[in-house]
Chain A
Amino acid sequence: MNSKVLSLIAGRIGVALVTLLIVSFLVFAATEMLPGDVAQVLLGQAATPEAVAGLREAMHLDQPAIMRFLGWLGGMAHGDLGHSYTNRMAVSELIGTRLGNTMKLAAITAAVAVPVALSLGILTAIWRGSLFDRAVSTLVVGVISIPEFMVATLAVLIFAVWLGWLPALSFGGSTDSIWDILRAYAMPVITLTFVVSAQMIRMTRAAVIETMKAPYVEMALLKGASRSRMVLRHALPNAIGPIVNAMALSLSYLLGGVIIVETIFSYPGVAKLMVDAVATRDLPLIQGCAMIFCLGYLFLITIADVVAILSNPRLRH
């Protein structure tokens, strides 16, 4: 660690606090603008004017919006995320269990997708223009264009219904052995790997090829370095910056954007929680989820920047 990295982290924490404040205000305002409120949603078709007014009063929704926002902010300052409007459970408790699930899925997916994407990206850069490169590139474009619900549904149909190798649902089944856990996670992880690694492969390939054009790589070539040494020793270290940034962006998607996978495999993660919260206009829960997504994104970007600095000798010293 050096002073540059420390000051970057300190600066990021400051930025994070300001961003969270702005985001929370924007999310609050956006939720207020949505038609209907939690009292109407909870009563559904039974929402007569008297019933709605009564429930609103009981839930303290009749206070002015800005007072509710400040009240929530005050609680937040003490680390209290508030209570869900719909089921009166603590938001931290609701998010806590779900976040664990999401992190587990994201971590396993990252552990599979990152090595795969990196090696495919680098290999296609090394053998640029070869048959292998073209085959992988075409496949990647294909995978980007197929929507994930299609991949997921087809995977279930083939592996769970026809072949019967894997369970159709990822949650609630037996988790007694490592084998069961692997089976349960196999399909969501494959689906997500398809989605996130396509972009990483293309970014890695482009970044490596870009640095291959630099004069020092040409120098290495003239000195008689092998193709793989040229790529791995000379080009790759300088391409790390853009590659980790692309990865951070792809992985941040795993945090809040996997709603389709969560729905199809019945996996209780935070993305579904956020969608539920918006559908029921459950403000404390929406805010809580938004804060988590925002923090996760900032965290990943910061890591990417730190890695970029550490990998660059000019910035490191």
Chain B
Amino acid sequence: MTDKTITNWTAADDAMVEDALRRGASRRDLLRMFMLGGIGTIAGGSILGRATAALAATPVKGGHLRAAGWSSSTADTLDPAAASLATDYVRCCAYYNRLTFLDEHGQLQMELAEAVESDDAKVWTVTLKSGVTFHDGKTLTADDVVFSLQRHSDPAVGSKVAALAKQIAEVKAENPTTVRITLTAPNADLPTILAMHHFMIVAAGTTDFSKGNGTGAFVSQEFQPGVRSVGVRNENYFKPQKAHLDSFEYFGISDHNARVNAVMSGDIHLGASVKPQYTRVAEGHAGVVLSKTTSGNYTNLNMRLDLSPGDKAGFAEGMKYLLDRELIKRSALRGLAEIGNDQPVAPISAFYNANLKPREYDPERAKSLFAKAGVLNQPIEVITSDAAGSANDMAMILQQAGSEIGMNFDVQRVPSDGYWSNYWLKSPVHFGNINPRPTPDILFSLLYASDAPWNESQYKSEKFDSMLLEARGELDFDRRKEIYDEMQVMISNEAGTAIPLFLSNVDVHSEKLRGLRPSPLGGQMGYAFAEYVWLDA
């Protein structure tokens, strides 16, 4: 379906239509919208067709899928604990399973677990599904779960979630299908935490992960770090719906242009995470589809509250008013973002506080706040880097806005290499980039609690800390939501972190690739697409 009659229609506009549809716009509303845009009803009708085509289709079995992520290096791993990039998550999702997982609506589902239950949020009982086997033929037992959860505490493993795993005091196998997890303190989020990619279940005693021996929908056939990995369908998969694809191949093409070109030429079926400025060429290209998802990923501006100039009251707030969120969204991100309200819980989360409105761009107000703080006309160093998402573009827009009210921002672009260890968390004013986390509790304890390891602005509040603890042990949803709502307001007003936008992820893929649905958990269906998609003949 190509619309030769429309010359300037892009996927961003497609996304707008889809958004409108999801909000319940009627066909007539939309057609009126197109008329306003100068598009005839006939062409408008065909765009509508495209936006809804994804809904109706029957899976086809077979085929070899080729997909490319944005990175691939010798650090590629099949060890779920060490997985650090989206490409690692994709491989882990194909070869392993988790106890639980979050579906495309953000709802918790059971995967290897039959049930995860607790009365006090402190002692949890996990019942396992029976008849699940690893690729090497071994049956899944409680021992595998114990091993998989305990290894995160071993420093030699280098687990990415070691900090989260600290709260697990004891993991014990009650019998072959039951595991008891005892936490150091109540945490109602445990089932959601177990849905994180790092908590995939591996076979007990595994030390060499290069074989990818899991329970997943694909069996690893070839794995060469930095080159490619190939998996074939697991015919003994425990889910009744096995993978549609015969096999799938995943590798990295780090150059955005090259990745888009490879999709357009038909060499690969999917190119993941393409930066907004490179999508233009693929928009409108016959047979190529753009899939957009907005999850909790954001690039933020951090003003440390314990260092000058962030320690002067009003400075951090002024900076929040000086960020022209609409402009950043339109010009730097080509519309592929959602406006944020200076707190880290994403709009797709069940705990998102919808009453907390984003700050409008208000240079006059910023100016008076800066004057109050006594920083007007002083040069202020802002550290930015390619490493932190869209930081460079945001810094440029901020600098421009500053010059109009007499603020002189000295923007320092530093190399990506070493950014996280040398500048992030350390410089008085700098950019950061935070990946989606499944629960507000994780976000808050990681980023805003007084003892948070990544307290980007050194925000300290006893009230906040005690609310965090209270909500963590609370099993009643409404009460938790109430507490989290208030905490989001506190962060938005008090912390030194400006969170202007949540960034969308764009995957470019061939029309032949079907069944790929946007997921709030990240691109490529929360990285688990291989199991669900199919190729049209």
B is bound to A = yes
A50 near B82: Cβ-Cβ < 8 Å: no
Given known A-B contacts A51-B155, A89-B225, A36 and B421 have beta carbons under 8 A apart: yes
CB distance from A101 to the nearest CB of B (A): 9
How does the 8 Å CB contact mask read for B244-279 relative to A, with 1 for contact and 0 for none? 000001011111011001101111100000000000
B66-82 with Cβ < 8 A to chain A:
66, 68, 73-77, 82
User: What residues of chain A lie closer than 8 Å to B262, measured between beta carbons?
Assistant: 160, 168-169, 266
A168 near B155: Cβ-Cβ < 8 Å: no
User: What residues of chain B lie closer than 8 Å to A157, measured between beta carbons?
Assistant: 261
A154-178 with Cβ < 8 A to chain B:
156-157, 160-161, 164, 167-169, 171-173
How does the 8 Å CB contact mask read for B369-407 relative to A, with 1 for contact and 0 for none? 000000000000000000000000000000000000000
CB distance from A107 to the nearest CB of B (A): 20
Whether B418 sits at the interface, judged by CB under 8 Å, is: yes
B160 near A46: Cβ-Cβ < 8 Å: yes
Whether A251 sits at the interface, judged by CB under 8 Å, is: no
**A87 interface neighbour in B225, B267, B268, B417, Cβ under 8 Å:** B225
A264 near B422: Cβ-Cβ < 8 Å: no
Complex CA gap A169/B262 in Å reads: 7
B228 near A172: Cβ-Cβ < 8 Å: yes
B74 near A161: Cβ-Cβ < 8 Å: no
B158 near A44: Cβ-Cβ < 8 Å: no
Whether A305 sits at the interface, judged by CB under 8 Å, is: no
A22-39 with Cβ < 8 A to chain B:
34-36, 39
B258 near A54: Cβ-Cβ < 8 Å: no
Q: What is the chain A residue whose CB lies nearest that of B418? A: A35
A94 near B74: Cβ-Cβ < 8 Å: yes
Given known A-B contacts A161-B264, A169-B262, A42 and B84 have beta carbons under 8 A apart: yes
Whether B49 sits at the interface, judged by CB under 8 Å, is: no
Complex CA gap A285/B353 in Å reads: 49
User: What residues of chain B lie closer than 8 Å to A277, measured between beta carbons?
Assistant: 74
Complex CA gap A171/B76 in Å reads: 18
Q: What is the chain A residue whose CB lies nearest that of B264? A: A161
Whether B453 sits at the interface, judged by CB under 8 Å, is: yes
Given known A-B contacts A46-B160, A167-B265, A263 and B155 have beta carbons under 8 A apart: no
Q: What is the chain A residue whose CB lies nearest that of B262? A: A168
CB distance from A168 to the nearest CB of B (A): 4
Complex CA gap A118/B95 in Å reads: 52
Given known A-B contacts A44-B420, A168-B261, A266-B68, A50 and B155 have beta carbons under 8 A apart: yes
A58 near B75: Cβ-Cβ < 8 Å: no
Q: Which size bracket describes the interface of A in this complex? A: 35 or more
Given known A-B contacts A168-B261, A272-B226, A273-B74, A44 and B417 have beta carbons under 8 A apart: no
The DSSP consensus for interface residues of chain A is helix
Complex CA gap A230/B394 in Å reads: 65
B46-76 with Cβ < 8 A to chain A:
66, 68, 73-76
User: What residues of chain A lie closer than 8 Å to B210, measured between beta carbons?
Assistant: 87, 89
A54 near B255: Cβ-Cβ < 8 Å: no
A45 near B155: Cβ-Cβ < 8 Å: no
A48 near B74: Cβ-Cβ < 8 Å: no
User: What residues of chain A lie closer than 8 Å to B108, measured between beta carbons?
Assistant: none
CB distance from A138 to the nearest CB of B (A): 28
User: What residues of chain B lie closer than 8 Å to A44, measured between beta carbons?
Assistant: 84, 160, 420
Given known A-B contacts A34-B418, A39-B158, A285 and B74 have beta carbons under 8 A apart: yes
B261 near A156: Cβ-Cβ < 8 Å: yes
Complex CA gap A264/B259 in Å reads: 8
A36 near B265: Cβ-Cβ < 8 Å: no
How does the 8 Å CB contact mask read for A48-91 relative to B, with 1 for contact and 0 for none? 10110111011000000000000000000000000010110100
Complex CA gap A264/B68 in Å reads: 12
Most buried by B among A42, A168, A171, A268: A168
How does the 8 Å CB contact mask read for B422-449 relative to A, with 1 for contact and 0 for none? 1010000000000100000000000000
Whether B41 sits at the interface, judged by CB under 8 Å, is: no
A259-306 with Cβ < 8 A to chain B:
263-266, 268, 272-273, 276-277, 279-280, 282, 285
Complex CA gap A157/B285 in Å reads: 13
Whether B156 sits at the interface, judged by CB under 8 Å, is: yes
**A172 interface neighbour in B158, B163, B251, Cβ under 8 Å:** B251
Whether A19 sits at the interface, judged by CB under 8 Å, is: no
Complex CA gap A45/B420 in Å reads: 6
Complex CA gap A97/B249 in Å reads: 19
How does the 8 Å CB contact mask read for B168-210 relative to A, with 1 for contact and 0 for none? 0000000000000000000000000000000000000000001
CB distance from A312 to the nearest CB of B (A): 45
8 A-B residue pairs with CB within 8 Å: A54-B155, A57-B155, A57-B156, A89-B225, A168-B258, A168-B264, A168-B265, A282-B75
Closest 3 CB pairs of A and B: A54-B155, A58-B156, A160-B265
Known: A42-B75, A45-B424, A45-B435. 16 other contacts (CB 8 A): A44-B84, A46-B160, A47-B420, A51-B158, A54-B155, A86-B74, A86-B75, A97-B224, A153-B261, A156-B261, A167-B267, A168-B265, A266-B68, A268-B224, A280-B75, A282-B75
